[in-house]
A and B are shown apart, each in its own frame.
Chain A
Amino acid sequence: MQYLLALYLDESAWGSMSPEQQQQGSAAYAAYTEALTKAGVYKGGNRLRPSASATTIRTTSGKSQVLDGPFADSKEQLAGYYLIDVADLDAAMLWAGRCPASQHGIVEVRAIWAM
């Protein structure tokens, strides 16, 4: 079963980290991605640009409303994602728990709707 791991983080935290801390942070994610790949469960993943650079669009009756900024105005914002292929939710939760984001923020685990 495929699962999306959606990473939600407080973006201000990264900015207030020293360069060394940021390097450690990146290394942690790189190690995590490596582990997923070695285990043969990695299907994709990306870090996203900050939520301030997001744009939303809503279309009603043929008219589009475009707004500057992310969808939700919350402290934690979508910062990245992983796509993994594992046996069941237990396996997905195990991997989600190992993701560095689960220590600094929240990881939401959602099954992919297999067509």
Chain B
Amino acid sequence: MSILDSNERAHDAAEASARRSYGKLVAFLAARCGDVAAAEDALSEAFAAALADWPVNGTPTNPEAWLLTAARRKLIDAHRRRRPEAGPDALDAIADFDQQPGPHEMPDRRLGLLFTCAHPAIDPGIRAPLMLQAVLGLDAARIASAFLISPTAMGQRLVRAKTKIHLAGIPFRVPERAEMAERLEAVLDAIYAAFAEGWLDAAGTDAGRRDLAEEAIFLGALVVELLPDEPEALGLLALMLYAESRRHARRSPLGEYVPLDEQDVALWDSGLIVRAEAALRRAGTLGSIGRYQLEAAIQSAHVERRRSGAANWPALVGLYDGLVAITGSPVAALNRALAIASMEGPEAGLAALDAVCVDARMVEYQPYWAARAELLSRTGAHSDALHAYDIAIGLERDPSMRQYLDHRRSLLSN
């Protein structure tokens, strides 16, 4: 084999190993030394060493084991370089580290790493980026572009978070039963935050953001795999799969916004819907309802349109009742008002909406004004509806959404 061929083969093997094993290797190393950044650095040096070594000595039969051994050595070297004057205690720790079980016994510590990234001591705004980098190996620039933050700022915030983990002694531990619900909620919220950023790219034209939704689904599926009996984890996975199934129906071929009840059900991905329904059904057997299961069930009631021709409005009102009770979210209350309108008419919807507008956050929330405008126009209160559309349009940044609102508004002034 020529040098070029063997180089390429080694490179491909390293890349494939990276994709499959990155998260597991970082998690295992970070848990051992309490330092995510050090683990990432050691691993990246190990990968560089692989690219130098494998073309010469052949791709190893167990690439993951090779990388783990190489990374461990780098970690010990780095530790010695930082603390050459370290006393006997420190050297004991290093020796213990060196005698860890062989790579074929490497346990999957990714769950602990996810809980670390979502630890209460870590700022909520950086938890999702931290997970994406530590568990999936995404680089700061890519994460930054998806969250609309400058790469430098994102890089600095990630460094700060990882330093905090190390210096403050945040443990890499799956929480005990007593704190599991609260700690898991933080993990799920972070994964959902990443998904929501990906969701903003409805047309799928921004590759960085579209992929983020896929990465979030991967993380959600990973949590379900590692915690198979947690209903909220299943609920979140179902929710994301339902939402993702409608990706291709959200915009017309011309890039126009298509509301949920006008989407072409033939464009919904039935494979994803089947997976979502399986997850939601399994969650239901575990006997503890929560926010994500309710949101997934709401999605399920909407998706019923592909079978029955209409969304299940009575079920939706009931589900929104539950969601409002659990979360107190004005957005949930808003959607509940719309469901009531679909079931009982626009006046009933407006009455429900009046209760929502008490929340100060609604004043700047475009969907609130769009919903208000829609219901007012159905009752014939055209000038009030026009006013509400104006406010909604003024609050909306997405051009295709603005165009849609403009169009609805123009239908009134005729």
Contacts and interface: CB of A to CB of B under 8 A. Distances in A.
A93 B119 CA distance: 12
Interface string A71-105: 00000000000000001111011000000000000
B121 A87 contact: no
Nearest to A1: B169
A41 interface: no
Contacts of A109: 168
B168 A111 contact: yes
B168 A90 contact: no
Interface in B148-195: 167-171, 173
Contacts of B168: 89, 109-111
B121 A88 contact: no
B171 A111 contact: no
Interface string B120-152: 110000000000000000000000000000000
A88 B167 CA distance: 10
A114 to B, nearest CB: 10
B178 to A, nearest CB: 11
Interface residues of B, number: 9
Nearest to A86: B169
A90 B167 contact: no
A110 B169 CA distance: 10
Nearest to A88: B171
B171 A93 contact: no
Contacts of B171: 87-90
Contacts of A110: 168
Interface string B198-242: 000000000000000000000000000000000000000000000
Nearest to B34: A88
A35 B119 CA distance: 26
Contacts of B121: 89, 93
Closest 6 CB pairs of A and B: A88-B171, A89-B169, A88-B169, A1-B169, A89-B170, A89-B168
15 contacts: A3-B169, A88-B169, A88-B170, A89-B119, A89-B121, A89-B168, A89-B169, A89-B170, A89-B171, A90-B170, A90-B171, A93-B120, A93-B121, A110-B168, A111-B169
Given A87-B171, A88-B173, A92-B169, 11 more contacts: A1-B169, A3-B169, A88-B169, A89-B119, A89-B121, A89-B168, A89-B171, A90-B173, A93-B120, A93-B121, A111-B168
